Chain A
C-alpha cells in the first residue's frame, strides 16, 4: 500500500512538517511512500539541499520503500531529469517516478528513457537495481507496450517485473480491459463500458 506524503503535489511546506507527514504515513502502515522533490530548490541550483531532503525522507520512512517523484514536466530539460535521477538514487530512492500527474507534460518516452539510462549506469556503478515508474499521459495499451519495449531494450529482462517497473495510470486500465475483452469476443466496447471517467 502506497501513500503520498511531503505535501504532495507541490512540496511547499517546511521540511520538518513534511518529515512528520512521512513518519505518520509509515507509522499508519504504508509500505511505500511517494515523495516529491523540491523543484524550486533544484532549479535554483542547490542540489545538495535536494539530496539532503531526500535522504532525510528516506530516514523517516523507516522500513517503507521510498518513491521519489521528480516532476519532470517542471524540470524541463533532459540534463535536469538526468541529474535529478542521479541525486534521488544516491540519496536513497527505491523507485524514481516521473510525475505527480497534476501537471502537463507528465511522463514522455524521452524522459523515461533518460531515467532508464540513469538507472542503468547506477546499477553498473553500485550493483543496486532501482525501480522506475512513468506516471501520467499513458492512456492506451499500445503506448504502454511502447514503454515496455523501451524498458526491455534499455535495462533488459530483469526489470520486467512490478518490483522494478510500474505504470502510474488510471485511464490505462480501461484500455487494457477493452483490449483483453476484444481478444475474447472480437468486439471493441466503448471506453465508458468498463468504468466512468
Chain B
C-alpha cells in the first residue's frame, strides 16, 4: 500500500447528503468503539417439545433384567436444575441391593454371556445402538431435563456419540482376537462402573459398550443427580432382550458407590469422577484382586499463539470452557495467551461472552444451561470468590437470570497467577482463568505445571509449531486448532492425577480384558 493513497484516505471529506442515503458517519473515537449486543430483533422462544415425555413418577432398580424395588425401601428426589421442580423419585440402593446386582451379574456372566460368541454379543450391541438412535430425541430431552445441559448439546453431541460408541464396540465384539496380535484376550468377569453427572448417557455408553463387547457383565451406578436417562437405557436393554443380568443398573449416592467398590465378587472397577474420590477408590481396591481404571479431573491448558487464526481460536476457546456449562473434565480452563495479542483476545472474548445465551436448557437457542446442582453452584461461587480475594479481575456479562434454578453466567478472570486457586483447582463451571506468556518454552512449562494431565489445546497456524509443542505437553488428549472433539475410535484418558486407562478405540478394550 503506497503512502500516497493512505494520506489521501485520511483527507477524504465525508459529505452528508440531506435525506438520501446516509453516508458513512465520521470515525468514532477510540474510547467509544463498542459493539452493542442488546435486545434489538431479540429471539422468540424456541422450546423443544417435551409434552410427550413420560417421566417417573418413580424408578426402581434394574437387576436381573427386571425393575425391582430397593431392599432399603428408600427413594430420593431427582430435580430439574433449571426449575428446581421434582421430576421423579429414584431408588436408593443399599449394600444388600448391590449384592443382589453383583450376584445377578455373576450368574449372567457364568451362565450366558461368557459362553456367547463374540458375533452374538455384537448383535445385541448393534440392536441397542439402533434403539438408542430411534429414541435419540426423547433421550436428549430427558437428559436436558434431568441434568441441565442444553438441548442443543444433548441432541447434537451427546446422543449421537452414545449411539456411536455402541456401534463402534459392537464391531469389536467378534474381532477381539485380532485386536492384540499374538495375544489371546479373555474377559474379566463382573465390572462395577461408577459414572458422573456431567454426561450421564455418554459416560454410561463409554463404560458399558466396551465392557459388554469384551464379554463382561456390568453393575452400573449413575450419579445421583442424573439417574433418569440410565433407567430409560435399562428399558432399552429390556426391549433389546439383552439376557437378564448382563447389565444391572443400581441407583444411589456415595454409599451405594462404596458398596460396589467394596464388593468382593467384582473383578473390575471403572470410575469417572473427581480426583479426590478417585484417590479414595485407589486405596479401597489396593491389595484386592480388582483391576482399576480411573478417569478423573483436569485443569487443561489452552494455548493461543500470536500466529493463530484469532477469530477462530476465540470460538474454540469459548467452546472449550463454556461447552456443557464448563462441566467437562477436559475443559480448557486455563487460557495462555501470547502477550502480543493479549488485548485483542480479551476484547474478542468479552464481545463473545456478551452474545452467549444463558437460560432454559430446553430452548433451542440457549448456549449455556443450568448448573447441575446447588452443591456445584456453591463450589463455583466459592472458587470465584477466592479468585477475587486473591486479586484477579473478573469479567462477566450482566444477565437477567431466572429466579428459580441454578445459573452461572459465562465468565473469565484476567490478572491470574499460577499460585491462585482459580489457576490450580478444577472449578467445573463456566469460568476461565487467563494468563499470558512470551515464549513457547514458557507456555509449555506453565501448561505442564499442574498435577493434572488430561487434555490441552494449541492454537497456531504454523504446522511445525503444532508438532513440536504437542509432543512436549503432558496431557493424554491434545487438540490442535480445535477443542472438545470426541470420537469412539479415539482413546481418551489422562496422565498424572487425571487417572489411568483409556476409553475409546482399541485401547479402550484393554481395561476389560486380560491378555495371555
A residues with CB within 8 A of B: 31-32, 47-48, 51-52, 55, 58-59, 63, 65, 87, 90-92, 94, 117, 120, 123-124, 126-130, 148-149, 152-153, 155-158, 160, 163
Which residue in A32, A91, A148, A156 is a CB contact (below 8 Å) of B5? Answer: A91
Contact A52 B2 (CB under 8 A): yes
Report the Cα distance A127→B351, complex, angstroms: 16
Work out how many contacts link A and B, with CB atoms closer than 8 A: 79
Nearest first, the 10 A-B pairs at minimum CB distance are: A127-B28, A127-B27, A157-B40, A156-B35, A153-B355, A157-B36, A117-B311, A55-B5, A156-B36, A163-B22
Which residues from 254 to 297 on chain B have a C-beta closer than 8 Å to any C-beta of chain A? none
Contact B37 A156 (CB under 8 A): yes
Contact A55 B8 (CB under 8 A): yes
- Note all chain A residues with C-beta closer than 8 A to B375: none
B73 within 8 A of A: no
Q: What are 7 A-B interface contacts by the 8 Å CB criterion?
A: A47-B1, A91-B5, A124-B347, A128-B24, A128-B27, A155-B35, A157-B37
Q: Which residue of B lies closest to A163 (CB)?
A: B22
- Note all chain B residues with C-beta closer than 8 A to A123: 33, 35
Q: Which residue of A lies closest to B1 (CB)?
A: A51
Binary interface encoding of chain B residues 33-50 relative to chain A, with 1 for a CB under 8 A from any of its CBs, else 0: 101111111010000000
Candidate in A59, A124, A160 with the most chain B CB atoms within 10 angstroms: A124
Contacts A120-B35, A153-B37, A160-B41 hold; do A92 and B12 have CB atoms under 8 A apart? yes
- Note all chain B residues with C-beta closer than 8 A to A127: 27-30, 32-33
Contact A48 B311 (CB under 8 A): no
Report the Cα distance A90→B29, complex, angstroms: 17
Cβ distance B393 to chain A, nearest Cβ, rounded Å: 21
Report the Cα distance A130→B28, complex, angstroms: 12
Report the Cα distance A184→B51, complex, angstroms: 28
- Note all chain A residues with C-beta closer than 8 A to B39: 157
Contacts A52-B2, A127-B27 hold; do A157 and B22 have CB atoms under 8 A apart? no
Which residue in B21, B32, B36 is a CB contact (below 8 Å) of A32? Answer: B21
Q: Which residue of B lies closest to A120 (CB)?
A: B35
Q: Which residue of B lies closest to A92 (CB)?
A: B9
Report the Cα distance A79→B129, complex, angstroms: 41
Q: Which residue of B lies closest to A148 (CB)?
A: B41
Contact A94 B41 (CB under 8 A): no
Q: Which residue of B lies closest to A114 (CB)?
A: B311
B53 within 8 A of A: no
Seed contacts A32-B21, A127-B32; 10 additional CB < 8 Å A-B pairs: A47-B1, A120-B35, A120-B351, A123-B35, A126-B27, A127-B29, A152-B355, A153-B355, A156-B36, A156-B351
- Note all chain B residues with C-beta closer than 8 A to A155: 35
- Note all chain B residues with C-beta closer than 8 A to A124: 33, 347
Contact A48 B24 (CB under 8 A): no
- Note all chain B residues with C-beta closer than 8 A to A120: 35, 351
Which residues from 1 to 30 on chain B have a C-beta closer than 8 Å to any C-beta of chain A? 1-2, 5-6, 8-9, 12, 15, 17, 20-25, 27-30
Cβ distance B112 to chain A, nearest Cβ, rounded Å: 52
Contact B40 A152 (CB under 8 A): yes
